[in-house]
Amino acid sequence: MSNMNYRVFDDSQQVVEALAQSLLEYSEMGRPIHISLSGGSTPSQLFSYLANADYATRIQWQNLHFWWGDERCVAPDNEQSNYGQAKALLFDHIQIPAENIHRIRGEDFVAGEVIRFTEEMYDTIPDSEGQLDQGKTPAFDWILLGMGTDGHTASLFPGKTDYETTEIATIASHPESHQFRVSKTAHLLKNAKRITYLVLGASKASVLKEIADNAPAAEAYPAAKVRCEKQADTTEWYLDSEAAQELA
Ligand code: 6PG
């Protein structure tokens, strides 16, 4: 019995249309909504769609605040920048207040940026009771996460993730490139009201099957372990048919 709450769409276009509709609904809720975007290549299709569809003008962007699950320690105009990708594909094409974009400053000294990013989240995002309280963990309304073929998510990598910390941001490094990253911690991610793993393409199919089958290997996968920890909250997987091809 799979322990994954997943939705399979015929193709990636249908996935991004469903995500766009969610953004529209969030934007109409009449309060600031805090959304954390995933990095890597997968979300580029979502950004391009939002910039070019009628959603670009229908979504009330002034009600949406965008953050990132992680950022590479590079300048914002570097092609590897998660923020830089979203800016080029989406933010430069819509009307959204600059103060609603909460990028991680990848160009800055990483230890100092972890502190700054942490403080900005505590100062800006209410906890799960809707209170802005320094001591309480911020509760994102919606966190979009990707997954690597090794089961990592954000910049939380197998064997290199601290699941016990109560910090909300941390320094990480890519296991192969050793590139430094700033990442949200498992503790913060798990405090979200909604987590959507956006996973597309055949290359992710075998890892998804291991997670769905609770395979022993999946024990080490952060993408298998990071879920909303409160029962009332939602952890879900949005998959295209290629990514879901090995699932029952
Ligand atoms: C990053 C991401 C990372 C990404 C996965 C999937 O900064 O790289 O946050 O967790 O979501 O590696 O990447 P792709 O979408 O490129 O497969």
pLDDT tens track for 131-147: 997 689 999 999 999 99
Q: pTM, whole model, 2 decimals?
A: 0.97
74 domain-assigned: yes
Q: Which two tokens stand for residue 98?
A: 């600059």
Answer whether residue 232 shows pLDDT above 90.
no
Of 238, 242, 241, the C-alpha closest to 21 is: 238
- In sequence order, the β-bridge partners of residue 72 are 181
3 domain-assigned: no
**pLDDT of amino acid 45:** 97
Q: In angstroms, what is the span from residue 41 Cα to ligand 1's centroid?
A: 7
Q: In angstroms, what is the span from residue 133 Cα to ligand 1's centroid?
A: 31
221 domain-assigned: yes
Residue ranges around ligand 1 (CB below 6 Å)? 38-42, 69-70, 82, 146-148, 152-154
Task: Give the span between the Cα atoms of 151 and 226, in whole angstroms.
Answer: 11
10 domain-assigned: no
**Averaged over 74-98, what is the pLDDT?**
98
CATH classification of the domain holding 209: 3.40.50.1360
Share above pLDDT 90 across residues of the chain, in percent, rounded to a whole number: 95
Answer whether residue 115 shows pLDDT above 80.
yes
194 domain-assigned: yes
| Residue 59, domain extent | 19-240
Q: How far is CA 153 from CA 100, 148, 185, 220, in A?
A: 24, 6, 10, 12
142 domain-assigned: yes
State how many domains the chain has.
1
Is residue 76 within 8 A of residue 108, CB to CB? The reply is no
Is residue 5 within 8 A of residue 197, CB to CB? The reply is no
Is residue 95 within 8 A of residue 58, CB to CB? The reply is no
Instruction: Say which range, 71-75, 83-87, 132-136, has the weakest mean pLDDT.
Output: 132-136
Is residue 123 within 8 A of residue 195, CB to CB? The reply is no
**pLDDT of amino acid 3:** 72
Q: How far is CA 226 from CA 24, 143, 194, 220, in A?
A: 26, 11, 12, 11
The CB density around residue 191, as the number of other CB atoms within 10 Å, is 23
DSSP one-letter code for 206 = H
Which atom of ligand 1 sits closest to the CA of residue 155?
10
6 domain-assigned: no
Q: In angstroms, what is the span from residue 29 Cα to ligand 1's centroid?
A: 29
Residues 6+ apart with CB under 8 A from 226: 145, 153, 156, 186, 189, 190, 195
pLDDT-derived band of residue 233, with 50, 70 and 90 as boundaries?
confident
pLDDT-derived band of residue 1, with 50, 70 and 90 as boundaries?
very low
174 domain-assigned: yes
Among 12, 36, 38, 174, which residue has the most ligand 1 atoms within 8 Å of its CB, making it the best to mutate? 38
Among 15, 74, 83, 147, which residue has the most ligand 1 atoms within 8 Å of its CB, making it the best to mutate? 147
